[in-house]
């Protein structure tokens, strides 16, 4: 339970800049502010009062606050110019960096201030029937290539997101670029393993995770194989028709790595049609005993880029 309860007239001073909380517009007379509750945090929309720009203030729930968030912020900042890691432009509030603010609002310890990204995630795109119906094979290739380039860059830098899922990938309006969300769990080589480690999101989890969960150098490989397959095959109307309207991913958790299902057969046929070499990579990940047996992102990137030239 978070004790921090901001209201529409409240301001915070962070690094000599004042931020106001954006009102919840559906109830103009109420003191409520715009907020989104996620599994591990509550995300408030705040406004930089000097520049009239919007930011996100991500306040971790008590059980998820840890020094690892501060370390991940430092790591992400070093890669903020890498495609897909724009949210590396962030500030983590700690007792050391912002002692007065944390003394006044203890629940803001390890909260993160970052840019507010407007747009839709891949998961919300899948929910949108009209947009999905207009989704083309060319867009599918372009989006998958843009996504794998981001993941390839991460892996080449000895980093892993650790919770790749449709809800953590923000799309540009033209479907040619992506940004990764929820990067607080970022893995980096040599860092101390956090107490709470990502086990992945439903619909993207490998069945055999060890004590590290997905907090490991190859932690994104299985989830990304599912995500890339979603992006490539979602242009197929039969695949969409077999996916429940309220599904947050292409496969239900109980279906992952099953020997055969109706949806799996349809997805494999669609993938073989749009990109035959990618089917072999998907099959390798699907049959893998552990994450280390999943294809790496240089292989995925080379396969998709070459196939897209044909």
Nearest-angstrom CA–CA distance, 160 and 157 = 9
Question: Is the model more confident about 2 or about 3?
Answer: 3
Q: Which fold has domain 11-115?
A: Phosphorylase Kinase; domain 1 (3.30.200)
Q: Mean pLDDT throughout 46-62?
A: 95
Helix (H/G/I), strand (E/B), else coil: 62: helix
Q: Give CATH for domain 120-309.
A: 1.10.510.10
Nearest-angstrom CA–CA distance, 89 and 106 = 23
Dump the DSSP string for 65-98.
Answer: --HHHHHHHHHHHHTTTSTT-GGGS-EE--TTTS
Q: What is the pLDDT of residue 81?
A: 87
Question: Is the model more confident about 38 or about 112?
Answer: 112
Same fold, 11-115 and 120-309: no
Q: What is the pLDDT of residue 26?
A: 62
What sign results for the dihedral spanned by CA atoms 192, 158, 251, 279?
negative
| Band of residue 2 on the pLDDT scale cut at 50, 70, 90 | low
What are the domain boundaries of the chain? 11-115, 120-309
Q: Mean pLDDT throughout 173-196?
A: 91
| Band of residue 140 on the pLDDT scale cut at 50, 70, 90 | very high
Is 195's pLDDT higher than 90? no
Q: What is the pLDDT of residue 28?
A: 58
Is 1's pLDDT higher than 70? no
Give the number of other Cβ atoms within 10 Å of residue 139's Cβ. Answer: 16
pTM: 0.92
Q: Mean pLDDT throughout 179-184?
A: 93
Is 25's pLDDT higher than 80? no
What is the tally of helices (H) and strands (E) in the chain?
Answer: 10, 12
Q: What is the pLDDT of residue 139?
A: 96
What sign results for the dihedral spanned by CA atoms 159, 40, 53, 119?
positive
Is 42's pLDDT higher than 70? yes
């Amino acid at each position: 339970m978070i004790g921090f309860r901001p209201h529409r007239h409240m301001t915070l001073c962070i690094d000599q800049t004042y931020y106001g909380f954006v009102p919840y517009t559906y109830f103009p007379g109420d003191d409520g502010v715009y907020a989104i509750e996620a599994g591990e945090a509550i995300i408030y929309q705040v406004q930089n009062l000097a520049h009239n720009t919007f930011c996100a203030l991500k306040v971790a729930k008590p059980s998820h606050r840890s020094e690892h968030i501060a370390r991940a912020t430092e790591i992400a900042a070093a890669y903020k110019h890498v495609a897909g890691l724009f949210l590396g432009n962030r500030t983590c509030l700690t007792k050391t960096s912002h002692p007065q603010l944390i003394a006044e609002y203890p629940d803001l310890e390890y909260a993160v201030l970052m840019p507010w990204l407007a747009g839709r995630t891949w998961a919300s795109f899948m929910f949108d029937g009209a947009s999905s119906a207009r989704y083309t094979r060319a867009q599918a290739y372009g989006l998958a290539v843009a996504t794998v380039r981001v993941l390839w860059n991460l892996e080449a830098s000895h980093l892993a997101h650790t919770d790749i899922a449709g809800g953590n990938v923000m799309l540009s309006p033209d479907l040619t670029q992506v940004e990764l969300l929820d990067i607080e769990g970022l893995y980096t080589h040599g860092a101390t393993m956090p107490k709470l480690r990502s086990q992945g999101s439903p619909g993207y989890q490998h069945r055999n995770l060890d004590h590290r969960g997905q907090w490991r150098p190859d932690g994104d490989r299985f989830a990304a194989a599912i995500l890339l397959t979603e992006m490539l095959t979602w242009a197929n109307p039969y695949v969409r028709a077999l996916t429940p309207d309220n599904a947050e991913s292409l496969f239900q958790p109980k279906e992952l790595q099953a020997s055969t299902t109706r949806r799996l057969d349809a997805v494999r046929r669609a993938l073989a049609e749009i990109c035959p070499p990618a089917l072999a990579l998907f099959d390798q990940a699907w049959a893998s005993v552990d994450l280390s047996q999943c294809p790496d992102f240089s292989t995925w990137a080379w396969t998709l880029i070459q196939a897209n030239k044909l």
